[in-house]
A and B are shown apart, each in its own frame.
Chain A
Amino acid sequence: MDLVSILLGGLAAGMVLFIVSVGLSVTMGLMGFVNLAHGAFAMLGGYVIVYSMRHWGLAFGAALLLGFAAVAALAVVLERTLYARLYRATELDQVLFTIGLVFVLIALVTLAVGPESQRVVLPAWLDGQTDLGFIKYRTYSLALIAAGTLLMLALWLGFERTRIGAKIRAAVDNRRMAESVGVDVGLLFTLTFALGSGLAAVGGGLGAEILGLDPQYPLRYLTYFLIAVAVGGLGRVTGVFFAALLIGVLDFTLKIYFPKGGTMFIYALTLVFLLARPQGIFGKAGA
């Protein structure tokens, strides 16, 4: 494989990682909640999207919207009824609770759909190759790169330019201060949690073609999602974007050149990186 193809393949994988992880970064940064069940929301979204396309004949775009809405709605219910009770609990309780939730969701999906892996049927316009002039590459991967970049820009604009974005940033940096100037932090939590989980659902659907889709998905990729968030920095959209791309490209490249121990380097790099900068790429020291 030539270098450009490897780079594009890695970028596509990195975009999927970004779309899934960005919500986790914001909710963790905002709420300080260790949500190990985030990948389960991505899995649920993937199932809704794949299932609605296959059985109800929904178009790809419509299925993505449905997946977003369904998982975001579920997230609101879970956040209000269960997550909210654990905001002041210890890290350990949060870890346990979310591992438990992962198990429950895995079991429910297995009961409802079955343990086998789901195949994604791409619409015709995304299947095949596109000629970029200098190279021909898989249309779907290029579409992923475009979609991820657009999402990144949209989120960045949303965070930097809108009132609600400013409130979220303020609450990430200093929750008490934000509360004292009248930001309804509880409502903000629910909204961002829903948005983040919905995005994870979209990522689960978009990425199913690359990452696969089966009930073990949330556990298999947990470490990757967490690494992207930890390296990118809590609550930092741009940080997670670059971290996810970096991990995507590195992972893709290493798996081609060192199929056996390639991922070892990812872990080693993460380790070294986090020791040097525990607050992530763009995180502020002491934040």
Chain B
Amino acid sequence: MSRPVQTAVQELAARHRLRWWEALPWVAGLAAYFLFPGYLAFGTQVLVTILFALSLDLVLGYAGIVTLGHAAFFGAGAYTVGMLAAHWGWSEPLTGLLAAALVAGAVGLASGWVLLRTHGLTLLMLTLCTMALLEQAANMFSGLTGGFDGMPGLAFKPILGLFEFDVLYFRSQYLYALAVLFACFILVRLLVYSPFGRSLTGIRENLLRMHAVGAPVRARQVLAYAISAALAGVAGAVFVHATGYVNLAVLGLERAAGVLIILILGGHGRLYGAFVGAIVYMVLEHTLSKAYPTAWQLGLGLALMLVALYARNGLLGLAEDLRRRWSAR
């Protein structure tokens, strides 16, 4: 084998290997636990959002499916653990996560199987409608879901029977969310670098060619959609475990648009975009939106327009461009 090919093969074989800096988010996550004990409730929300955005990255960033309704799955997971705990006394968190993943994954599988036949505006509308449908259903069947007010004051059993949920300081919630995020991240990372993940990228890059190499395109898309839905469901479940309530806001347009914005700001199709996007967005929102809500909205709007026009790969893409330009000098 000649040199350039060999180099390319080696580069490909090394691509999935862990880099040293990939330990940073987890070190920082643990450090934050000790450094900011007063902000763990907020930190837990950030971790949940990272997981949610990560699940979206799989369909949007890798498979290239543009959806406006991803909160449907977050909500499905959230309501699953909420209803199990409120009506059937099933308040063990880890099996709750599993149940949430199964229910949300099943919703993803069913809706993906039907919806992913379409594309473009129709698909956008259908994802939006599916989510709105679930939202309205949650509103209507108030006997089960608590309707508009949702289900407040849910109590869950200690994690692994050992760690009580900490209502005041969110210490166990934070670590729990961090652990779940870590496990899900490992799974997503594995998928992304597998032949399956590469075929999703292929579908995003050129659908026509993917059909022409004989790939079962729709089956792959539906599978990715279902896995992503299950992960979003886990995020929703962790959210409910941590906060002890669930209401209609878990599956509204606002949450769906929010996670889309977060992922795009951070950079989609690159795993760590979800981390950067969620942290930057939520910290800014936390500090600005209460004090200057209108200015926050104005700034966010302008940022989105600029990203769409000039920085299509988000903050991480921007950083990469800068680094490339730096090293080219």
The chain A residues found within 8 Å of chain B, CB to CB, are 28, 34, 82, 85-86, 89-97, 99-108, 110-111, 219, 222-223, 226-227, 229-230, 234, 260-261, 263-264, 267-268, 270-271, 274-275, 278
In the complex, A162 Cα to B129 Cα: how many Å?
37
Contact status B137-A104, CB under 8 Å: no
Residues of B contacting A261 in the complex (Cβ-Cβ under 8 angstroms): 136-137, 139-140
Contact status A82-B301, CB under 8 Å: no
CB distance from A13 to the nearest CB of B (A): 18
Residues of B contacting A275 in the complex (Cβ-Cβ under 8 angstroms): 114-115, 117-118, 126
Is B121 on the interface with A (CB-CB < 8 A)? yes
CB distance from B57 to the nearest CB of A (A): 13
In chain B, residues 248-304, which have Cβ atoms closer than 8 Å to a Cβ of chain A? 253, 257, 260-261, 264, 294-295, 297-298, 300-304
Residues of A contacting B260 in the complex (Cβ-Cβ under 8 angstroms): 95-96
In the complex, A268 Cα to B307 Cα: how many Å?
34
In the complex, A104 Cα to B297 Cα: how many Å?
7
Residues of B contacting A267 in the complex (Cβ-Cβ under 8 angstroms): 129-130, 132-133, 136
Please classify the interface of chain A as helix (H, G, I), strand (E, B), loop, or mixed, using the class held by over half of its residues: helix
Residues of B contacting A96 in the complex (Cβ-Cβ under 8 angstroms): 260-261, 264, 304-305, 307-308
Residues of A contacting B117 in the complex (Cβ-Cβ under 8 angstroms): 275
CB distance from B301 to the nearest CB of A (A): 3
Contact status B304-A99, CB under 8 Å: yes
In the complex, A100 Cα to B310 Cα: how many Å?
13
9 A-B residue pairings within 8 Å (CB atoms): A34-B124, A90-B66, A94-B308, A110-B294, A219-B253, A264-B139, A274-B122, A275-B114, A275-B118
Is B181 on the interface with A (CB-CB < 8 A)? no
Residues of A contacting B139 in the complex (Cβ-Cβ under 8 angstroms): 260-261, 264
Partner of B125, one of A89, A227, A260: A227
For residue B132, which residue of chain A has the nearest CB?
Answer: A267
In the complex, A104 Cα to B137 Cα: how many Å?
32
For residue B296, which residue of chain A has the nearest CB?
Answer: A107
In the complex, A145 Cα to B146 Cα: how many Å?
39
In the complex, A20 Cα to B311 Cα: how many Å?
32
Is B128 on the interface with A (CB-CB < 8 A)? yes
Residues of B contacting A91 in the complex (Cβ-Cβ under 8 angstroms): 66, 120-121, 124
Partner of A100, one of B114, B118, B304: B304
Given A96-B308, A278-B122, 19 new contacts (CB under 8 A):
A86-B308, A86-B309, A91-B66, A93-B308, A96-B304, A96-B307, A99-B261, A100-B306, A103-B300, A104-B298, A107-B294, A107-B295, A107-B301, A110-B297, A226-B124, A226-B128, A264-B133, A267-B136, A274-B129
Contact status B125-A270, CB under 8 Å: yes
Is B312 on the interface with A (CB-CB < 8 A)? yes
Residues of B contacting A100 in the complex (Cβ-Cβ under 8 angstroms): 300-308
Residues of B contacting A28 in the complex (Cβ-Cβ under 8 angstroms): 121
Is B68 on the interface with A (CB-CB < 8 A)? yes
Is B60 on the interface with A (CB-CB < 8 A)? yes
Residues of B contacting A34 in the complex (Cβ-Cβ under 8 angstroms): 121, 124
For residue A92, which residue of chain B has the nearest CB?
Answer: B66
CB distance from A259 to the nearest CB of B (A): 10
Contact status A103-B124, CB under 8 Å: no
Q: Which of A86, A91, A99, A101 has the most CB of B within 10 A?
A: A99
Knowing A100-B308, A270-B129, say if A95 contacts B124 (CB, 8 Å): yes
In the complex, A223 Cα to B114 Cα: how many Å?
20
Contact status B122-A103, CB under 8 Å: no
In the complex, A231 Cα to B253 Cα: how many Å?
20
In the complex, A244 Cα to B300 Cα: how many Å?
32
Contact status B125-A274, CB under 8 Å: yes
Partner of B305, one of A90, A101, A227, A263: A101
Closest 3 CB pairs of A and B: A100-B304, A103-B301, A261-B140
Contact status A82-B305, CB under 8 Å: yes
Residues of B contacting A260 in the complex (Cβ-Cβ under 8 angstroms): 139-140, 142, 147
In the complex, A101 Cα to B308 Cα: how many Å?
11
Q: Which of B121, B136, B261 has the most CB of A within 10 A?
A: B121
Residues of A contacting B295 in the complex (Cβ-Cβ under 8 angstroms): 107
Contact status B298-A108, CB under 8 Å: yes
CB distance from B3 to the nearest CB of A (A): 37
CB distance from B316 to the nearest CB of A (A): 16
Residues of B contacting A223 in the complex (Cβ-Cβ under 8 angstroms): 128-129, 132, 253
CB distance from A224 to the nearest CB of B (A): 10
Contact status A230-B261, CB under 8 Å: no
In the complex, A110 Cα to B294 Cα: how many Å?
7
Map CB proximity to A onto B108-121 as digits: 1 under 8 Å, 0 otherwise: 00000011011011
For residue A222, which residue of chain B has the nearest CB?
Answer: B253
Residues of B contacting A111 in the complex (Cβ-Cβ under 8 angstroms): 294, 298
CB distance from A17 to the nearest CB of B (A): 15
Residues of B contacting A263 in the complex (Cβ-Cβ under 8 angstroms): 132, 136
Residues of A contacting B66 in the complex (Cβ-Cβ under 8 angstroms): 90-92, 95
Residues of A contacting B115 in the complex (Cβ-Cβ under 8 angstroms): 275
In the complex, A106 Cα to B68 Cα: how many Å?
20
In the complex, A96 Cα to B307 Cα: how many Å?
8
Residues of B contacting A86 in the complex (Cβ-Cβ under 8 angstroms): 308-309
In the complex, A263 Cα to B142 Cα: how many Å?
15
Residues of A contacting B253 in the complex (Cβ-Cβ under 8 angstroms): 219, 222-223
Q: Which of B140, B253, B301 has the most CB of A within 10 A?
A: B301
Residues of B contacting A219 in the complex (Cβ-Cβ under 8 angstroms): 253
Contact status B261-A226, CB under 8 Å: no
